[in-house]
Each structure stands twice: as C-alpha cells, then as structure tokens.
A and B are shown apart, each in its own frame.
Chain A
Amino acid sequence: MEGRAGTPGAPRTENRALRTMVPITTLHYLVVAAALFVLGVIGVLTRRNVVIVLMSIELILNAVNLNLVAFSRMWGNLHGQVFAIFITVDAAAEAAVGLGILISFFRNKETINVDEIDLLKW
C-alpha cells in the first residue's frame, strides 16, 4: 500500500491534496489501536452495565487485532492475520458464554450492574 501510494512513477502534477498525503505507516495503526485500547479500558473500568463492559472488552480485543494486522502488514507475512482471526473467534465464543452467564444472573438477581455482582466477596 505504501508502495502504491508513494509510487515514484506517479506524475508530479497531481493535485495538492495528493501531494500532501502522508503515507500510512505502522505507527499510525498503532496509535489508532492504542486509542481504541484506552477507550476500551476506560469503558471496562467506568461503566456499570455488564453489556457495555463486554462491549468495551470487544474494543480492547479489536485494538489488539488491529495491532496484529498492522504488524502482519509490516512484516509482510500472514502470521498476525491468522492470529487475529483466532482472536475474533475467541471473542465470539467469549461473548456467547458471557451473555449466557449474564442472562442466568439476571434471572436470579434482576440486575446486571457490575457493582451489585459481589457474591464472591469473602
């Protein structure tokens, strides 16, 4: 992608918008992924609704996925992408199990607020 964007053979007469385009490097991806990750963490730490917490965990996982895919591109092999697919499957399974626990919990306590889920407290 980088090669294509900065193709030397491209005419210099391209519009300014094109001229000023910076090639997207791995770092960009990492920044985006870091931002996603921080958003996810904040969500996990601050939201009380377990559904939102689970969604925030999805954000964290996808931030990691983005990292993996970015590094895969950087290295030019597919290891990272394969790993990302694994994590996607894992996230789906985790969502299924988590929602199952959530529903059975709601049936018992009629709440899904995290701060009320404290049965394991000594």
Chain B
Amino acid sequence: MFFLNHIWLIPLFPAFGAAMMFFFGRRLQKATVSAVCVGVVVLAFLFACFTVVEYTHFAHGTGRPFEKIVYTWLGSGDGHLNFVKRDGRLASFNADAGFLLDPLSSIWLLFVTGVGMVIHIYSVGYMAHEGGYYRFFGYMNLFMFTMLLLILANNYMLLFVGWEGVGLCSYLLIGFYFHRKSASDAASKAFIVNRIGDAGFILGALALSWYLGSFRFIDINALAHSGHFAIGDPVLTAAALLLFVGACGKSAQIPLYVWLPDAMEGPTPVSALIHAATMVTAGVYMVARSNAVYMLAPTAMKTVAIIGALTAVFAASIALVQNDIKRVLAYSTISQLGYMFLALGVGAFAAGVFHVFTHAFFKALLFLGAGSVIHAMSGEQDMRNMGDLRGRISTTYKTMLIGTLAIAGIPPLAGFFSKDEILWQAWRSAEGSFPYLWLIGFGTALMTAFYMARLIFLTFYGQPRMSHEVEHHVHESPKSMTGPLVVLAIGSVCAGWLGVPASFGGRNVFGKFLEPVFAQDVAASVAPREPAGEENRGLEWTLMVLSVGAAVVGGGWAHHYYAKAGKDYPEPIAVDAPPLYTVLYNKWFVDEAYDYVFTGRRKIGDVRLGAMGAGEASSWFDAKIIDGTVNDVGWVTRAVATLSTWWDKWIIDGLGVNGPAILARMMSYPARLFEWGLVQWYALVMVAGLLGFGVYYVWK
C-alpha cells in the first residue's frame, strides 16, 4: 500500500521540476534542465505504474475506488461553512485535498504520465536549439502537475484547480513564442474562450453541490444512484448541461472549439501533449466522471451526443482542405474529440474513454511526426511546399503512416477498435435518432481517412515542391525525437488490443476494467435498442465492414488525387465545387461570424455587436447619458449660481452693505470740509481760539 498511500506524490514530482525551473532555471545548464524535467516525469510515470498495479490488487476487479484525503482544503468539518441544500437540509461546504484512484482515473493517470514522458523526451531534441529552454520545460512540468491534479482530484473543487491550471499552462505554452503577435493572440484567444467554458463548469459544480450537498465524486455518485432523483430532474439536467459547457471549452467542441486550431502557434510538442493527447481530453474525463449525473439527465446526454457528432463532422470537413500540416491535425483532434463526446452522449462511456486512450497514442504520434517533418523542412509547415519526403526521413514516414492508419480505422490498429466501438454503440443506443448520429460518424470516418491520407501523400509522396536550400537541408531528426515516435507507433498499433470486442472473440479487457465505474449507468436510462448478444453479431460485422470500407475508400480517393502531386497540383474540391472549397478553406467563416457577433471586431453595416459593441454602447451611454446628466445638473447649478451672484452683488452688497456706506459718506461731506490737512491752519485756529478766550475773559 506504500504507493497508494503516497499517491499525492505523483503530481508533486513535476511540481518540483517546475519549481526548480521557476527559481533556478535561468542559471542551469541545458543538460541539467533536461535531466531534472524529464527525470521528474519519468519518476511520476514509474510511480504511477506501481500505484496502478497496487490498485488492481487493492480493488480485486471490483473497481472500488481508492480515496486518500491528505487534508481539508476548503471548508471544515465543524459546521462553520454550512449551506442549506435545496431540500432544506444543512450540508457543510467541504472540499479536501483528496486523491481518488479508480479505473477511470487509472487509465488517465497511465496515459498522461506515459505519453507525457515520451513527449518530454522528444522535446529534449526538438527544443535543443530554441531559446527559453528552461522556461519551456518549466511550463511543461507545471502542466503535468496540474493535469495530474485534475485527474487525481476526488472532488469538483480540486478538479477545478487542475482544470484552471492546465488552462494557464496551455496559455503560457501557446504563447511560448510571445514575440510573435499571432502566438500571443492565439494564447489570449485560447484563454478567453476557455474562460467561457470554465464559467459553465464552476456553475455546474456549484449547482451539483447545492443540490446534492457535496463536491466529492463518491458522494455524488452514491446520491445519484440512490434513487431519490427522478430521471430528467431539472436541476441535475441544468448542472449536467453547465458542466458540458465547461467540457466544450476545454475539449474544443462546438461552439467553443475556435481556440484549438490557433493553439498550433505553440511549439509542436505542446500541440502533441496538451492540444491532442491530454488536456483536451479533460472535458471527456470530467463528463465521464460525472456519468451518474448525466445518466439522470437524458436531455443533457442527447445534447452531448448531438454536439459531439456535429463537431466531429464539422471539424473533419474543414480538415479536408487545410494546407498547414499542424492545422489539419488540429481539426482532426477536434473531430476525434467529437467522436468521444458522441460516445459519451449515447451512454457508451467505456467506448468514449477507450477512444481517448487510443487517440492519445496516435494523435501524439502524428503531432510529433509533424514536428519531425517541420524540423526536417527547416520550419516549413505548409504541405504545398513539401512532397517526396518518404525516403529522406524514413523513420518519421513509417511511424506517421502507422498513426494515419490507426486514426483512419484500419484493423488491427488502435483506432479501428475504439472508433468502431463508438459507431456500433451509436447505432444500437435507444435514444431515438441515434442512427443518424451513426451516419454522421460514418461520414466523418470517410473524411478522416481522406484528409489523413491527403496529409501523408502531400508530405511524403509526389514530387518535391520545396525550395532547393530547404531540400538540400532535409535530414532525419535525432534519436531523442525518433525514439518517442517509435514508442508511440508501437502504442498506436497495440493499444487497441486491450479492447477487442466480443464479436472478434476478444475479452474487451479495457471495457471490463472500466465496468465498475459505469456499470449501473447503462441500465439506468439508455437501454440498448439492439441487444448486443449473438443474434446481432451479423449487424455489428456489417457496420464494421462498412466503416473499414469507408476508410479504404477515403484513402483511395486521396491516393487518386494527391499521390502524384507535383507543383500546382489541383485540389479536387476546388475543381468540382469552388464555393464549397471557399467555405471549407475559410473554416465555414466561423471566426468571421464570431468577430461579427461576439467580439465585435467587425461591423455589420454600421452596427457593432459583441463585446466591442457592448463596450461602444456603454461608452456611448457613459458619454451621453451619464455625462449628459452630470453636465445638465452642472448647467442648472451654474444658472442658479449666476442668479444668486446677481442677487448677492446688487441686492445684498449693493443695497444692504454699500448703500448705508454711501449714505454715510454723503452725509459726512460737510464735516470733512473742516479738515483740509494743513497743520499750520489748525495751529492758527488754536491760537485764534485762545486769543478769543483771552479777549473774552479780559473784556468780560
């Protein structure tokens, strides 16, 4: 039990690395930075492996969760922070620094640390010649810390800390080349769009705790299963929808997906780790974690499924015509995340999680492969300027081909099993229109095969379209980069074998492992429309053949159009349907629409909407209404003051004060005539007076 009891150490390893980089990174050698930062992630991975092994012994296949509460982080047990629940009873506001390990978080723990470790090793080679080396690794370690906190948290509040932390690290790493305006803009965009989702998440979590009286997953699960709450409970539905808003932000679903393509401004290992394999699956994790609540909210489930399916097909359609290699992969990621939410929405939580797991391998592989291509092409990302690289960087080519086959769903690679499971579950689920969702998923699979094959053909086949200097400089990446590619390629091949469905005679180890987390749910509201037993094996096989067929057809089309692409190769969609091409190439003008409606960067005629519109409106209100009122009041005051001044000057001062003074002056005029100022005259008068007195008294 040593490892389970010290589970809280797992996030602390990368936290230590991040702290080291924060305090001393500037003074450390690159070799030291690599040793510390990669070392702590390797340690975390090993620790995680041992912990999960110990957990399987602990759980004995029952899937009972292991919970380790380190200390009370928010609130207290002594009732000082109580609140009244909706049913009128008192509950204490309480969030622990607690860690929860169950099959769901075990899976995330393993692939986050595993893929994270591989990508850290890859970064040592990829970032070797970049400035800010320690800064990059410090951010990466900080990301690992917050991501592990997110998946190991035992309550919504601690999960939210990790949730915000990964958002912060995503911001920091997208803006890693902060001297480039486009990078810092993309970072801000990611942060702001995520903030909208985060608002939904925190409201949903608070609504849940207000309704159920706890933040802890175990309590909430138990309460949701207790039978006290009806299916379709409005508060739970609202909370589930709010949580899904958060998931939309973090996991790039319609309508909050716009930040993810721009996030490709960050270094490629960041795209692989954060924006493909781990962080963007946090939304899936959170929804899967809240599955008990979602099962009680069929409306929310339906919303999740529809949004997921729409996102899948929408992003895939954009990926068909993009030329930037990383952007194709970014839209592919959005599309695959849509698949995962489709699975969650139809109640196939295990299938969704399985797709997260396999996707982590092949999408990280594809991104790292793209990074290797970009490395070989001296920084060129535009596929129009590539071509014929397969012989020159053969390891990259082979591994990327494996990743492409995996994502396209070619058996027996990883993507086949997980994607087929999702499509099958979409087909057989009870919720009314889900066969349509299957159809959307099917179409998306076709597009996926097409755009991924297009990427491969444009990059590795055809004629070289790059300039001579670049062509001369093409070279295979160092071992530290190709090694991770090979590891991930092996993962992309084998990861699917964990979940071979019963129809293939497999045992679906993955699904069995997760069953305790989701077991009760399938029974609750989403009863399968088609039973999964032997009698439907034929249907399942048919669908499977269809989707593999779609993958082959998509790849075949791409081969037809792009395999021999020379300079100025034609885009088939641009040739056959130019308007459609314009729309897809401009990403359905969604960024423009958001500029019109939400940011207000563009005006509709003379009207400006959105944030800037609100700013202008409140500026107008302030200038005209508030200031106008202030000025009017000022004008009235001044008028009154003028009147009052006139009164004071002419009536009070004039009549009251100066009037008597003037009167006194006029009356005193005769008296003043006697005093003309000549001293000798006064003396003469005195003498005359004295003489007068003398004469008077003498003569009397």
Contact = CB atoms under 8 A, between A and B. Distances in A.
Nearest to A42: B687
Interface in B634-675: 672, 675
A115 B681 CA distance: 9
Contact of A114 (B675, B676, B678, B687): B678
B677 interface: yes
Nearest to B673: A122
B575 interface: no
Contacts of B604: none
B687 A45 contact: yes
A17 interface: no
B683 A121 contact: no
Contact of B684 (A45, A114, A120, A121): A45
Given A41-B687, A45-B687, A120 B677 contact: yes
Given A45-B687, A122-B672, A114 B680 contact: yes
Interface in A17-70: 41, 44-46, 48, 53
A117 interface: yes
Contacts of B676: 118, 121
B678 A44 contact: no
A25 B676 CA distance: 45
B679 interface: yes
Contacts of B672: 122
B679 A117 contact: yes
Contacts of A117: 679
Instruction: Report, as a range, how many residues of chain A touch the other chain.
Output: 10 to 19
Contact of B675 (A41, A46, A53, A122): A122
B428 to A, nearest CB: 120
A45 B678 contact: no
A44 B677 contact: no
Contact of B678 (A41, A118, A122): A118
A45 B675 contact: no
Contacts of B677: 118, 120-121
Interface residues of B, number: 10
Interface string A106-122: 00000000110110111
B673 to A, nearest CB: 10
Interface in B677-695: 677-680, 683-684, 687
Contacts of A53: 680
Nearest to A47: B680
Given A41-B687, A122-B672, A46 B680 contact: yes
A63 to B, nearest CB: 14
A115 B679 CA distance: 7
Contacts of B680: 44-46, 48, 53, 114-115
Nearest to B678: A115
A46 B344 CA distance: 128
B681 to A, nearest CB: 9
* Central interface residue in A45, A48, A114, by most chain B CB within 10 Å: A45
Contacts of A44: 680, 683
Contacts of A114: 678-680
Interface in B8-66: none
Contacts of B678: 114-115, 118
A121 to B, nearest CB: 3
A58 B641 CA distance: 66
A44 B679 CA distance: 10
* Central interface residue in A53, A118, A122, by most chain B CB within 10 Å: A122
Interface string A80-112: 000000000000000000000000000000000
A117 B680 CA distance: 11
A108 B672 CA distance: 26
Given A45-B680, A46-B680, A114-B680, A121 B675 contact: yes
A115 B678 CA distance: 5
A30 B677 CA distance: 34
A45 B513 CA distance: 136
A109 to B, nearest CB: 14
Nearest to A46: B680
Nearest to B679: A114
B662 to A, nearest CB: 16
A71 B589 CA distance: 133
Contacts of B687: 41, 45
A122 B672 CA distance: 7
A118 to B, nearest CB: 3
Contacts of A45: 680, 683-684, 687
A44 B675 CA distance: 19
A45 B681 CA distance: 7
B174 to A, nearest CB: 85
A47 to B, nearest CB: 8
Contacts of B683: 44-45
A122 B687 CA distance: 23
Contacts of A115: 678, 680
A46 B680 CA distance: 7
Interface string B297-328: 00000000000000000000000000000000
Interface string B108-143: 000000000000000000000000000000000000
Contacts of A41: 687
Nearest to B676: A121
B51 to A, nearest CB: 105
A45 B675 CA distance: 17
B450 to A, nearest CB: 110
A46 to B, nearest CB: 7
Nearest to B690: A41
B238 to A, nearest CB: 94
Nearest to A41: B687
A53 B684 CA distance: 13
Given A44-B683, A48-B680, A118-B676, 6 more contacts: A44-B680, A45-B687, A53-B680, A115-B678, A117-B679, A121-B676
Q: Nearest 4 CB-CB pairs, A to B?
A: A118-B677, A121-B677, A122-B672, A45-B684
14 contacts: A45-B680, A45-B683, A45-B687, A46-B680, A53-B680, A114-B678, A114-B680, A115-B678, A118-B676, A118-B678, A120-B677, A121-B676, A122-B672, A122-B675
